[in-house]
Amino acid sequence: MSSLLLFSDESSHCFERLLPPSTMAGCDSCPRVQIMEVDLLVRCVKVVSNYYRYLFPVVPPCGSSSRLASRARLFKEYKEVQREKTADPDITLVCDDTNIFKWTALIKGPSETPYEGGVFQLAFAVPEQYPLQPPQVRFLTKIFHPNVHFKTGEICLDILKNAWSPAWTLQSVCRAIIALMAHPEADSPLNCDSGNLLRSGDLRGFQSMAKMYTRLAAMPKKG
Amino acid sequence: MAKQQEESNSNPAAAAAGDWENFRDDDIMLQHSAIRAEQADKIPFLGDKEPLSALAAEYQSGSSILLEKIKILDEKYSAIRRTRGDGNCFFRSFMFSYLEHILETQDKAEVDRVKANVEECRKTLQSLGYADFTFEDFFGLFLEQLENVIQGTDASISHDELVERSRDQSISDYVVMFFRFITSGEIRKRAEFFEPFILGLNNATVDQFCKSSVEPMGEESDHVHIIALSDALGVPVRVVYLDRSSCDTGGVSVNHHDFVPSALSSGGSGLEINPYITLLYRPGHYDILYPK
């Protein structure tokens, strides 16, 4: 279901080019199924061609543009993630079907923290200069944490900024974020309310707020 | 899912309006890269070869000690080649000096020797737990440059092309990163040796130091980095210091320090090392020097 949604923009664009609106308007007799089939075909062709582009990135002999270099690196990470799928049960890292520069991760809230039992979704936007530049990562799931912006989900973590190096991977970034969830840095807060609770020593207040938002946003709704 | 990610594009309008509430890290990073781009226009990663008089011109109205020292330098060195002061200057200077040396001498034995050391470094990183795919692209690109400066193959490059490549960000940055991996691997491998230096430098553990001061691009190099890189690759480096220090005895002299790889110095032969990388150090920055 979600994979179909991901295609919607590009494929509908192609679809319109194949069958201009005028054609569609005047084709009352044309069974809807056929249109669906064309649409599906467009999608399939796109999937296959994209897949081959991942498999065989064209790497020029030298001075390869950064986009190709980053694509090649991301594909290696993709293969590694597939291979090590069960290695880290707390992290599920998924690449967008049509764009290797977009990833999503589901991470489990670490135990013995107010995030325990929650599953948090992260969005990765990987720049073309990757891995020389860090991916942009943010929480899509609402979380109450001193180092995560409450509205935008932006994360304050040194390795995502100036301490980034290509030795990190998307997978190890997820691990670092889980570690940050367990060890908040209240002195450099993006979420001041959360930071202030911790800094004033109101651990109980912080934990109940964080736990409440974990229940509200990061756990399946009951009923 | 994909829809929501689109929102992560930064918000220049908010920045312009001075709306700090919506001024996000993306915007700050955009601003950083704009500043870097502006700097890039002023000086390339690697400058042209300039006579030492160009250096003297810089200090015309400055300290007399420096001018005195530049005069002394002039006796031994013929030219300087500047590098951009972006925190990677040591590695970029090392890269160009070394490859230029190989290009000029066509020393195939040296190429084989350094390749063997690079393979050792690869094993070091593997044994330290680095995943191959995190560093192999950087290794590959350096080895490619090393092969290309050797003449007589279809892929051979001229001196001009080497300069061009050293100015090409996609190559230059990858080679810098290769050196950073090598340096980090060597420091970690000999953690016991490096630990006291690092503790004295910024009170960090070896792991913290490598993560925060070696592996990230743009982190400046110190003695620790130079020792580690020189040792790991077995390449001696001479660093000539141009600062305002002077001897009490009156005479002005220019200090230099030779970084001799442990593999060479432990032979104990007392052999005079003739380093083919000579760098000029001014506090905070390295450039390349050409001996006469």
CB contact under 8 A, B170 and A158: no
CATH topology (fold) of A66-218: Ubiquitin Conjugating Enzyme (3.10.110)
> What pLDDT score does A45 carry?
44
Question: Mean pLDDT, to the nearest integer, of A81-100?
Answer: 90
Question: Mean pLDDT, to the nearest integer, of A200-206?
Answer: 95
Give the relative orientation of helices B169-189 and B159-167 as an angle to the nearest 10 degrees. Answer: 80
Domain B41-291 in CATH 3.30.1360.20: no
Question: Mean pLDDT, to the nearest integer, of B19-24?
Answer: 62
> What pLDDT score does A84 carry?
82
Domain boundaries along the sequence of chain A = 66-218
Beta strands at B237-241 and B277-282: parallel, antiparallel or unpaired: parallel
Whether chain B has a CB inside 8 Å of the CB on A166: the answer is: yes
Domain boundaries along the sequence of chain B = 41-291
Whether chain B has a CB inside 8 Å of the CB on A99: the answer is: yes
Q: Which of B26, B170, B217 sits opposite A69 (nearest CB)?
A: B170
pTM of the model: 0.80
Question: Mean pLDDT, to the nearest integer, of B195-211?
Answer: 91
CB contact under 8 A, A165 and B24: no
Distance from CA of A6 to the nearest CA of B (A): 6
State chain A's mean pLDDT as an integer.
78
Per-residue model confidence as pLDDT tens digits over A38-62: 444 444 444 444 444 444 444 443 4
Asked whether B73 and B50 are in contact (CB, 8 A), the reply is no
Asked whether A173 and A132 are in contact (CB, 8 A), the reply is no
Distance from CA of A13 to the nearest CA of B (A): 16
Residue of B nearest to A97 (CA): B2
Q: Which of B137, B184, B216 sits opposite A163 (nearest CB)?
A: B216
Least reliable range by pLDDT among A70-79, B218-227, B242-251: B242-251
Q: Higher model confidence: residue A53 or residue A155?
A: A155
- Which residues pair with residue B280 across a beta bridge? B240, B287
Peptide bond into A146 cis (omega under 30): no
> What pLDDT score does B23 carry?
65
CB contact under 8 A, B181 and A167: yes
Run of H or E including A140: none
Residue B246 has pLDDT above 60, yes or no: yes
Q: DSSP of chain B, one letter per residue?
A: -HHHHHTTS--HHHHHTT-GGG--HHHHHHHHHHHHHHHHHHS-SEEEEEEHHHHHHHTTTS-HHHHHHHHHHHHHEEEEEEE--SS-HHHHHHHHHHHHHHHHH--HHHHHHHHHHHHHHHHHHHHTT--HHHHHHHHHHHHHHHHHTSSSSTT---HHHHHHHHH-HHHHHHHHHHHHHHHHHHHHHTHHHHHHHHHHHHS--HHHHIIIIISSTTPPP-HHHHHHHHHHHT--EEEEE-SS---TTS-----EEEE--HHHHTT---PPP--SEEEEEETTEEEEEEE-
Question: Mean pLDDT, to the nearest integer, of B164-177?
Answer: 95
ipTM of the shown complex: 0.83
> What pLDDT score does A33 carry?
39
Would you mind telling me the total number of residues written for chain A in this entry? 223
> What pLDDT score does B244 carry?
83
